[in-house]
Amino acid sequence: MSRMPQLSSRPLVCGLIAGALTLATATAGQAKAATVSASRAAPQGLYVALGDSYTAGSLIPNPVGTPADCFRSDRNYPSLTAQALGLTLRDVSCSGAATVHTTAPQAGLLLGGTNPPQLDGVTPDTELVTVQIGANDTGIVALAANCVLAGAIAPTGSACRASHSSGGRDLVRERIAAAAPKIAAVLRGIHQRAPSARVALVGYPAIAPTDGTNCYSLVPLSPDDVAYVNELFVAMNAMLAEQAAANDAEYVDTYTSTVGHHFCALPETRWFEGPLPSDIAYPYHPNARGEAAMARSAIAVLSLPRPQPGPVLSALRQQRAARRAGRPPRFSFTLDRRATVTFTLRRRVATKRYGPLMHTFRRTLDAGNSRIELPRRLLGRRPGTYKLTATPAVADLTGALVAVRFRIR
């Protein structure tokens, strides 16, 4: 099956941007300010915002910061969040950014600019970091634009879904799964540079209808293709929430509060634009109202007291003497405090895929060094590859999941 041409997450055409910037300059003084509110009890100090064009607020007036071709807006959600929480903002987001641009420069921007590695903006005195990234690694936003090309000649059916599948595999979902370790690496990089900072991973909003409808005259996508776009945003957000939980970060859900304000909505209730924006914004991106909505979601989370960290469990280390069939596998580890640890065991049934749950059990263990032994009857003399996961918890505080893969010969 032939592949559709993929569009870059950069501005689609220079003329669109030039026209929008001209319009932004002319109307900036008349633009409505977004209304946000928050408790002033939130953390004070330096706030660093990392992210892509959804963070930057591409083409929304007024443009601020350098390089100019990152297209940051003074009405993007970091600006509104900083204002509401009384924080000093350092916005290093940039349109078109992917996870690689957190550690490497983002060169070759539209006007020739280069954005430094975004993690360079995170310093030890940082008190709050938000990061919203991954859409350009997975291509979920560019996908909507690409699928319009197929939808223009296929008003019904599944042109978008089909063009991103091969041999029964959903290529975009595979990219979402492949982005998970990249997101984890970004969060670890933030913690390394600012160990005491509060870190929030911001999800992506509901840019498409979620009720099975479409608006073909505005956005030429079939009902199934609109549903497919929405499914991918849901899958992307599920991955982000999982990585936040596993890497000591809070998750900001911007999806739930934006349902119904998609690119098919009436202009006065539309927070996300389609291929021909009715407001000053980049196609398939938030307008000023969308940025304000994401700000409200961020403020709702960050106005609350910082969650206490869950218990920490070290890597699981298997003892070499227990690697043969018939011998009970033993694993050692350490806990930073007394906690109840839930263990689950699965056996691999195919490449990169593990079968249904074989066994689960809980142990309440004291702080320090511990050891567990898997019951011999679980494995018997069944050689193969297994995965053991462990999740520590104290009351309502859950620590990061730890997993180890091991082979029985």
Q: Is the pTM of this model over 0.75?
A: no
Catalytic residue, chosen from 101, 164, 261, 285, is 285
Q: Report pLDDT for 325.
A: 53
Q: What DSSP line would sit under 100-132, residue for residue?
A: GGGTS-B---TTS--BPPGGGG--TTEEEEEEE
Q: Which residues contact 374 (CB under 8 A, 6 or more apart)?
A: 328, 329, 330, 331, 345, 359, 388
**Inter-residue contact 236 to 205 (CB < 8 Å):** no
Task: Give the strand pairing for 198-202 and 126-132.
Answer: parallel
Q: Report pLDDT for 3.
A: 33
- Is 79 an annotated catalytic residue? no
* Alpha helix positions (H), 155-219: 159-163, 171-193
Which pair of structure tokens corresponds to residue 122? 């995170």
Domains of the chain by start residue, with CATH: 14-302 (3.40.50.1110), 317-408 (2.60.40.10)
Catalytic residue, chosen from 9, 53, 95, 222, is 53
Q: Report pLDDT for 383.
A: 76
User: How does pLDDT run across 1-31, given as a tens digit for each residue?
Assistant: 333 333 334 433 344 444 444 444 333 333 3
Q: Report pLDDT for 324.
A: 55
Q: Report pLDDT for 210.
A: 95
Q: Which residues contact 393 (CB under 8 A, 6 or more apart)?
A: 310, 311, 339, 340, 341, 342, 399
Q: Which of 180, 189, 178 is nearest to 102 (CA)?
A: 189
Low-confidence ranges of the chain (pLDDT < 70): 1-44, 320-326, 351-352, 379-382
Which pair of structure tokens corresponds to residue 45? 């100090």
Cα distance between residue 237 and residue 273, in whole Å: 20
- Is 8 an annotated catalytic residue? no
Q: Report pLDDT for 379.
A: 67
